[in-house]
Chain A
Amino acid sequence: MTETNAPSLLARLLAGLVVILGTGAVIAALFAWFNGRAASWEAYDRLLLGAATDIAESIRVSDGGPIVVLPTSAFELLAQAPDDRVTYAVRGLDGALITGHADAPKPDRDRSRDGVFFDGQMRGEDARFVDVVRRFSEREFSGAVHVTVGQTTIARRALAVDLTLNALLPLAIAGAALILISVFVVRSAVRPLDQIAQDMAGRDPYDLTPVSTEGLPREIAVIVTATNGFMGRLDRQFSAMQSLISDTAHQLRTPVAAIRAQAETAIEETDPAERERLLDRLARRTRSLGTLLDQMLSRALVVHRTDSVAREKVDLRQIALEIVESRDHDVLTPGVEVELVIGEREVMIAGDEFSLVQAGKNLLSNALKHGKPPLRIGVSEEGGRALLWVEDAGPGIAPELLSRAGERFQRSSASREDSVGLGLSIVTAVADAFDGDIVTSRDGGRFRIALALPKLREETS
């Protein structure tokens, strides 16, 4: 396991969550504070108003002027804010002080309205005031008497803080719970990754079997499936390489031994005529060994390409044309003519051009070697499938050989260097790779073998 500097999923999620919760907490705290402050201010404003009203109601007119019988109840009300200092003033006409503290401020706003609240200072401390008007229209006295009551804001602020904290406490608990739960959830979500990592670490180096996706979250299953696909390709390449090596060793052992034996015989042969014959045989053997090697390499290449090269749109007619034009058959069986049978319309399939050419060449060379002329190669369509076929007048391939064509090699024919089997196995591999199969048919003494592939739907353009 390699340690990386990139933050873990958990850390990222938590960081995100903390940012979200932090922002939420700031907003919630602001709201809670505004609400708490408003509620607290309203509650204590009522007390203040109650006290002022109490005092206002205790004013009576006697001896030509207003007289205040200050009620203690007003001060008991104010004492609900136990640590706050208080001030009050009762003012008559023209603001003349009737009783109270001369330094109690008058409201800066309209004093005609009843119950005006205003903020101010009380000897250097923030304070809240209310002004209440009591109007008299008596014979002796007519006019308004203003009662101003003020109080410092200690209790208000304490209540506001209290209300705010009370509102924030459940939020804080919920936030903490949210973080805990998300830690738990993320842990359990990434636990499969740990299991996969352990599974991988504990594997045999050659074990490329798929990792089980059972019970995995969909997001992780996607990665695992992709990894499994990748491992599958790796596995196939790995086994292709393995089989190439073992096949090569197996296939080459007999011919190389024969060549060595013939070479040794040729060295010891003293008769020039006989030696000439032996050398000629040696040369043929070596040539066919070369062909065998070519075929094995091309099969390995085909198997490799079908896994590693992306499919592209290919016109099968083009493949057939290329096979005929390469004129390989001139080398194999000089003088045999191959007829090309293709139509006007293009026959599109999805595949790899190189692999398809190799498959076609193998079909053709099989026919050249084992069939009888006249030979035809062609492309046709049949039941929604595209066929690349080769026809000859020979007996055709034994069905049991064909059925074993999927296997890598036909051991029965392995003694022959230029065996049909290797060629057919290339065709089979190409057919498998491009979702097709091999089709044989017989028609009036003619044998046809075809590589059938799903046809691409013609584009409307």
Chain B
Amino acid sequence: MRLSRRVAALAVAFGTMFATVACSSSEEPGEGTKKVEVFTWWADGGEKAGLDGLVGVFKTDCADYEFLNGAVAGGAGSNAKQVLASRLQQNDPPDTFQAHAGAELSDYINDDQLEDLSAQYTEWGLTNAFPKGLIENLTVGGKIYSVPANIHRANVLWSNKTVLAKAGIAKDATTLDGFFADLDKLKAAGVAAPLALGKDWTQQMLFEALLISKLGAEKFSGLWNGATPWTGAEMTAAINDYKRLLTYTNKDRDTFDWTDAEKLLMDGKAAYQLMGDWEAADLDAKGFKDYGWSVFPGNGNTFQWLADSFVLPKGAKNADGTKCWLKTVGSATGQAAFNQKKGSIPARTDVGTDGFPAYQQAAMADWKTATQVPSCPHGSACAQTWQGAVGSAQGKFSSDGDVAALQTALASAAAEFGPKK
């Protein structure tokens, strides 16, 4: 009896302990008004180095404020997005957070979680510093909600020069037909799968590059704002071409990440890979020198962009500090410091090319004159729900090659998740 009473007391004590732990574990937000909590998933590698560069500029430009690193590592941002979603739900937003610029932000905009930054764009002179095409892609309902820190290009075709030389290909193809001819030449020269490809989103990227070639920049952008229909013969023809393109790729693509596909290119087992321009930094880091690049054949001067950007959430504790951070992010010095380290290019067109590697210098030149189009797998063209539906449909197509089913799925995804007319 006495024993059981003692045990009971112990149990109650445990219960109380649980309750105390539950109450005291709430997070400590940026106290006072000096700290600016910057929420990112840039926790290591070139991304961390870029962030550090940006923080260096912030420290001199915004000496009144203090940088508070709110990075959440892991899962290519998916962990961070989960944490962010729950913090926004509890009305405990960080002072600013990282998000893909463009349509992906519409999730937050529709949920009324972001402040309009249009006035700041004018005040800080960003409207003229960014290319007109970018400003158009960023504007949602006449307002701009984010400041891009960098620009990556998605529609770049990387190649292994030695493999191309062996097959007697001296010039980059500039049309889709020319590209198919080159792929045939490579097959004849004994390269069984000349175009290296990975899973889901890498397939989405290849499909979009092909769509740009088939439809042209304007109609391609129209797919995402409702101006171009997904049904219709033109799209059917494009999907058929895509199906043909897949026959030149490695069969085990669904097991490959983009870096696995990159290895096929480096090993000379493949001649081409379509990938964003972060591949340049990665190839350099891996010590592979024998690579060439061109825009995807038939894309002309279309620049398919994606960008990381920062926003001002509603209810941020230190809105003035956040504005100073955003000003730094948009400034020429901030963009130079960030992008030289991260391996991307500044969104501004007035940053000097000194200190940038060869590929970036070329991309910066293109950025000024090119036609900008957005990208769905990287969030500039579509919201995450839409992106998920397209990814799933693309994955199915990779295994069964059913053209009609893919077109139907893409059309219903656009109807369900796309802009409502």
Same complex origin of A and B: no
